[in-house]
Amino acid sequence: MCGIVGIYSHTPVAAELFESLIHLQHRGQDAAGMLTSDERFYTKHGLGLVKEIFAPHDVLALKGNVGIAHTRYPTAGGYSETDIQPLWVGSPVGVAVAHNGNLVNYEQLANEIRLRQHHHLNTALDSEVLLHIFADQLATVHTHLEEASFFEQLCIAIKKIYDQVEGSYSVVSVVIGKGLIAFRDPHGIRPLVFGERKRNDGASDYIFASETTMFYALGFEPKGDIQPGEVVYVSPLGTFFRRIMEQQSFAPCAFEYVYFARPDSTINGVSVYRSRLRMGQNLARQWKLSYPDILPDVVIPAPFTANTAALSFAHELGVRYSEGLYKNPFIGRTFIMPNQTMRSRSVRYKLTPQKTEIENKNVLIVDDSIVRGTTSREIVKMVREFGAKEIYFVSTCPPIKNPCFYGIDIPSRKELIAAHCNEEEIRHYLNVDRLLYQTQEDLVEAITRRGEHQIKRPCMACMDGVYVCGDITEDKIQELEQKRESERSK
């Protein structure tokens, strides 16, 4: 999972790309990069948090009124500076991309590029394969074409990507001298939204991003989503083109709503905040059916992604809501940390129980999900140490039993507690008195209840094992699991 943004403006974009990355920091804390363009590319990237990478003079050195940026946590490739996006090539055409997602048939595509086309791959990133395919398709497009004709040829080129590439990909791209491009895979698995900013002279600036989080701060009005299989192009003159080239079953990632997206975002026509309120409401109703005689004294969230659901859960039960765990906002998100040792260690660094809210009380903890189980277990242990009488634990997400191959860092079934333990075994491992998971049906209802959207059923492969694209057989699952384990061991 990563955060991407592309901006076309009538003034230099570097400062606004930087601010956008700040607003997308929650989507990746491993690395970040920016690329801008006039008649050439200007780049800056590095490992770490956005504010650690870019000094004011770095931003000022990035020239041009069009640019793209990326914040990363790795699900493919390594942890070195060579594996930081945006990526670019100068030949056969100057093109750069920032990509959010995962390509399921990466190995097949990489072998085609290396062995048959005799191109060198400089990284282990599936995004580099996507860049090479895109650049090769653009090589047949005459860059001197007027903008409408260029868009026609661009659509043909990207349609060939849709024909070859399996997996999830939301992409923003810059072509030197031709403007800004955005496109999304035919299932729309990873989010991609856009906004418009009207200028005093009547001209428009445009932004494309993983989420709407920066729109208000930068003065952009949300205009909706790039549709599954859609290509959007903004020419150097600011002309806006869009066309759906190939659309299949719309299956946006459910985990965006459960955990990843910021609550103030609207993606795929659905408010993330409202969907999480509904998750808490549905889960509380299920609690009343499952445990009608058990009422906690206090409901506390595992901050911060569970705060919204915990609030509505407590309201539905008529129980006091309390932020009984204080979170240090300067510690990173444990789920996206690169190894289990760092995740476990950081739980106590970032969370401090509040004794007055916990001691001698029956405490119900609401968390967004239980993935590996170690973080949840550590939270329970801390709450017990501060004097809770009984502890109940509920998850707004159903049991996660399968790896994700579309961009979430859920790499292997052997790391997933629900893949090899039943709910009673998980309850015992967590050391809680009661455990309740959201049902898959209630999660889908919470996401799809409201909003102007076309979602029938989101992608829930990590929960139900239904992979919406790519030939994901058991052999393929084992192959991809082994590949990721090998990458991590390095």
Strand partners, 181: 173, 233
Identify whether residues 278 and 233 lie together within a single domain: no
Residue 345 lies in a domain: yes
94 and 170 belong to one structural domain: yes
Q: Are residues 172 and 45 in the same domain?
A: yes
* One domain for residues 484 and 427: yes
Do 223 and 318 belong together in one domain?
no
Are 173 and 212 in a shared domain?
A: yes
Are 154 and 202 found together in one domain?
yes
**Number of structural domains found in the chain:** 2
**What's the chain's length in residues?**
490
Residue 419 sits in a domain of what CATH number?
3.40.50.2020
Give the model's pLDDT for residue 332: 59
**Token reading at 247:** 């659309």
Same domain, 110 and 202: yes
Q: What CA–CA distance (Å, rounded) separates 9 from 206?
A: 7
Catalytic residue among 2, 155, 253, 397: 2
Tell me how many degrees the CA angle 84-188-260 measures, rounded to the nearest 5.
60
Using the 3D structure, point to which of 248, 281, 310 is the last residue of a domain: 248
Here the CATH number for the domain that contains residue 191 is: 3.60.20.10
Domain that holds residue 376: 272-489
Q: Tell me, yes or no, whether 264 lies in a domain.
A: no
* φ, ψ (nearest 5 deg) of residue 395: -120, 130
Nearest-10 Cα torsion for 327, 329, 334, 338:
-160
Residue of 447, 442, 306, 451 whose CA lies nearest to 364: 306
415 inside domain: yes
pLDDT per position as a tens digit, 57-84: 999 999 999 999 999 986 655 567 778 9
How do residues 119-143 score in pLDDT, each as one tens digit?
Answer: 788 888 999 999 999 999 998 887 6
The reply to whether 454 and 352 lie within a common domain is yes
The answer as to whether 265 is a domain residue is: no
Residue at which a domain ends, from 213, 233, 248:
248
Q: pLDDT per residue over 357-409, tens digit each?
A: 999 999 999 999 999 999 999 999 999 999 999 999 999 999 999 999 999 88
Task: State yes or no: is 2 an active-site residue.
Answer: yes
Query: Within this chain, do residues 293 and 235 fall inside the same structural domain, yes or no?
Result: no
Residue 267 maps to a domain: no
**Mean pLDDT by 10-residue block, N- to C-terminus, for the chain (490 residues)?**
95 98 96 96 96 96 98 69 91 92 93 80 90 91 85 95 96 96 97 97 97 98 97 97 94 97 97 98 98 98 95 98 90 55 71 95 98 95 97 98 91 92 98 98 97 92 94 87 74
Same domain, 123 and 207: yes
Please tell me the distance from the alpha carbon of residue 146 to that of residue 54, in angstroms, as a whole number: 36
Does the residue 254 lie in any domain?
Answer: no
- Do 291 and 396 sit in the same domain of this protein? yes
pLDDT of residue 333: 52
Residue 261 forms part of a structural domain: no
pLDDT of residue 343: 57
